[in-house]
Amino acid sequence: MQKSKKFTIFLIIMITLFFLFCQNVLANFAEWYTYFIRPICFIGVAGIINILISSQLTMRKSRKDIVQYVVITNLIYIIIYLVSGIFPGFGNNPYDTSLKGIIINVLSNVPVIISLELMRYKLVNNVYKRDKKLIFVLVVIAFSVWDLNFRQFFGTTFVPYTIFTFIFYTFIPVLVENVLFTYVAQNGDFVPNIVYRAFYDMFIWTFPILPKLPWIFEAILSTILPFFLLLYIRYLVSKKDKNFIYMNIEEENPRGLLPFTVFLVFAIWFTLGAFPIKPIGVATASMYPAIEVGDMVIIKTVKPTTLKEGDIIAYKYNDTTVVHRIKNINKKENQDFVFVTKGDNNYFEDTKPVSQGQVVGKVLFRVKHVAYPTIWLHSLYTEREDVGVETGKDID
């Protein structure tokens, strides 16, 4: 069959409807859908697309280089992901990492990945050059619909927290990945995309423990690294294009973004507490006037035995970090210290003494008013709750 814009658009619409049907109807069959119905349906639809679009699969010259970039990017992601988990800690993998569980996950998911990427490749290459941009956009939208799972989103309560989480944790990473996959399919082939998706999924399916990272950091990693990979592949494709001017190629060289990427990784580790000092934004007036709302305090990790009365410390209480001043220090029978703390602007001392294990560190200094953006973002992506600590008197 000849290449056709109208026919390709028709197929994209049909595939989008198929995705929605899977998510909203077939998904009700739960495990039967996940392990049997979904892979069979996707293999069937991919087979139909392969018959309808009879163009031969071609191995592009850039495939080997793109696959290498894909593997390297995945390795970098996994290393950063695991190293970042050292600081907040690790938790059990929700997937079944037994041999049986791994085999089931591979058999039920890899055929879906292969089918998706084969369909993507066939669709974006079934039009002439003048129509490629339009089809590119439509394919990105269609395949993003599958990855976004709108059924789950619309089943939640619409509050700023869920909307913010959906946009930054789900929507943007999914969009960036689908732009990457569609570009590779249009300029390389479908194999690098299969390698990219299967490589990461195999890590998730087999690793017994996973980092307990704040979702915002996972969202940053899941967006920046695919975007960086996209720029490199685009640069690679441009270099192999004989009609591309050398000066334009050098302008597209993404090496200049490397320092920014390295800085971003270290910034994430700094915030997670990888270094002896870490920043904390102050969201209440409990320490006014020594520390005001919107100030950022720099905390240094210290031995609790070196603390003294009058020091301002940060400590963990109910999954919240509290920054208050030490009023008294008592020694328990087992020789451990407990600290009686109070906010300078509070009426009463904190209800419970602070153990040595709760202490995060000692406040070194503050930077005035720079934490307002962080506090605002934090209020959007975390649900408001009572932390059980007095937050300060009203300030005139």
DSSP 188-238: S-SHHHHHHHHHHHHHHHH-SEEE---HHHHHHHHHHHHHHHHHHHHHHHH
Taking the whole predicted model, whether its pTM rises above 0.85 is answered as: no
Helix H or strand E encompassing 367: strand 359-367
Which segment, 28-32, 249-253, 350-354, 389-393, is predicted with the most confidence on average? 350-354
What pLDDT, on a 0 to 100 scale, did the predictor assign at position 58?
59
What pLDDT band is residue 274 in, cutting at 50, 70 and 90? low
150 pLDDT more than 70: no
Give strand pairing partners of 209. 92
What pLDDT band is residue 106 in, cutting at 50, 70 and 90? very high
Of the ranges 47-56, 165-174, 265-274, which one carries the lowest mean pLDDT score?
A: 265-274
Which segment, 112-116, 234-238, 280-284, is predicted with the most confidence on average? 112-116
In angstroms, rounded to a whole number, what is the distance separating the alpha carbons of residues 293 and 96? 45
Domains, the chain, with CATH or none: 5-272 (no CATH), 277-381 (2.10.109.10)
273 pLDDT more than 90: no
| Averaged pLDDT, 341-356 | 91
Query: What 3-state class would DSSP assign to 106?
Result: helix
What pLDDT band is residue 332 in, cutting at 50, 70 and 90? confident
pLDDT digits (tens, 9 = 90+) for 172-197: 999 999 999 999 998 878 999 999 99
What pLDDT, on a 0 to 100 scale, did the predictor assign at position 278?
84
247 pLDDT more than 50: no
- One-letter amino acid at 195 equals V
